[in-house]
A and B are shown apart, each in its own frame.
Chain A
Amino acid sequence: MNFLNKLVPQVALEVQQLSKSAIHTSAVCCRVQSGRYRITTKRDRPLTYEMANPPHFIGHRKSWNSWNTSTLKDSLRPSQTAIEDLFIRKFVTGTWHALVSSEIIIKRQHNTIRIAALIRQAISPRKMYFLIGYTEELLSSWMQCPVTLELQTVADKKDVVFKYI
């Protein structure tokens, strides 16, 4: 129905009036595409476990990437928490450039933020320690709360690949 509304506003109006009075039946027009990956002809697109399971499996086959209480009923700051999580994700993927090989998991407990991710072993441990301290320090000064990075390293990119499609 959405594409109709966009195309012809008059039709949309009529449809609206119609739908008020009668039962509306039609084929499902809404296409669900987000969080799904298309199969390539060569079948060589690597997918992690997280990517291999589409969003409707969240809570069944895979789990949430953000863990906090702000989406419970009558909780405070749901929108701010979501924006902050987005910012943390952007910042971490940018700081650990081309090293993050999984989704960034953000867990909030009381006032602490714990960030977990899988990191490729492409840089020396010394640089990694620097980046951990840098990320924690900057994020905690922006978020005004302690931030802890809990990283796990993988030797190769292919370690996280679940399947190829």
Chain B
Amino acid sequence: MANSLTRFWGQGSLQKHVVQTGLRGFSSQQNPEVEEEEEFRVLSLRTVKQQFQKRREVKKDPVTPPRSNRMAVDQDWTAAWPGPRSFHPASVPLPLRQGFTERGAAAPSKFANAELMKIPNFLHLTPPAIRQQCEALKKFCTPWPKGLETEAKWQRHFPVEVITTDYLQALPTIRNPEARRVTVSLKLSDLKFDAHARDKFLRLVGDRYDKDTDILTFVTDRCPLRKQNYDYALYLLTACYHESFVTEPWEATKSEADMEVYLFGRNKSKLSAEEILNWNAAEGAPKVEPSPSYGQSVEQLINEGENEYNLTKYKEEVKKMLNIASQ
């Protein structure tokens, strides 16, 4: 009864009938039709073999043929392969093969070939692609400044050379502690010194100065950042330069024993030479000085040691100073 009711409720258009059947439901009369419709449920104690249910067929999408079959010969390859990517056989219309096989057998083809996927490819860097990228970058370029065409020209304007290293690495981080190192180098001849300042500067910088190439190099790596190291290197250069022009009071107490080289000007030999030259000179007459070339030869003789060349030169100078005619 109830079954039939609900069945009718389901059909919205038959509301009239519903009311009727509902009325009928309250009557004591049984409806023979409804009883016939109901299925007689059998109590089954043994497990009955279940009816074979049709399996839902899995719809498989047909595998599309490789894209390379449909590629036009004159297609824009940069659009087909725009960026770096592992090799994919369906996208590359080339009959590639890779792999080692026994003699006579063909090498494995490009399909299902893991070796081709391993090796880095440059399919995204074909000459047309590079040309395109260069064209795109051109609008950001500025012309090379005039007057700086050759190295000799720009070295006059930019005497200080700064060397830093950037590290590219395959890591999640872009930091590399080695990148903090800064090397600042310049030619010592680009700095202006007097004799005292130069001597003091070379003492201050120590082995950072290379005598053979005349290049001064500061390498700084004590700060964690490159900027800090660069600033520190420039600070060192500035501080050393200005400090070398300061004459401390104790520097005047340097005696002859402290001298590291023989200087003609502040030694007895100059006085003796002057005495010889001014022998019997009239009172008030201008003092005759020994020639600088004589002083040089004396310095050379004492600083470099006695060798044949220095001795000969000294002899010549002495003869010249004393006006002795050479035979």
Contacts and interface: CB of A to CB of B under 8 A. Distances in A.
A102 B61 CA distance: 23
Interface of A: 48-50, 53, 57, 60-65, 67-70, 74-77, 81, 102-103, 105, 107-111, 114, 116, 118, 121, 124-125, 143-145, 150, 152, 154-155, 159-160, 162
Given A107-B120, A160-B112, 15 more contacts: A57-B100, A64-B118, A67-B118, A67-B120, A69-B171, A105-B114, A109-B84, A114-B86, A116-B114, A118-B114, A125-B61, A150-B86, A152-B88, A159-B111, A160-B114
Contacts of B113: 49
Contact of B168 (A48, A60, A110): A110
Contacts of B99: 49, 61-62
A145 B174 CA distance: 11
Contact of A152 (B61, B108, B112, B120): B112
A111 B173 CA distance: 7
A76 B176 contact: yes
A111 B172 contact: yes
Interface residues of B, number: 30
7 contacts: A57-B100, A67-B170, A76-B173, A107-B86, A108-B170, A116-B86, A124-B60
Given A49-B99, A61-B99, A65-B118, A150 B88 contact: yes
B82 to A, nearest CB: 14
Contact of A70 (B60, B84, B118, B170): B170
Contacts of A110: 168-170, 174
Given A49-B99, A67-B120, A103 B114 contact: yes
Nearest first, the 3 A-B pairs at minimum CB distance are A108-B170, A150-B86, A61-B100
B171 A70 contact: yes
A50 B168 contact: no
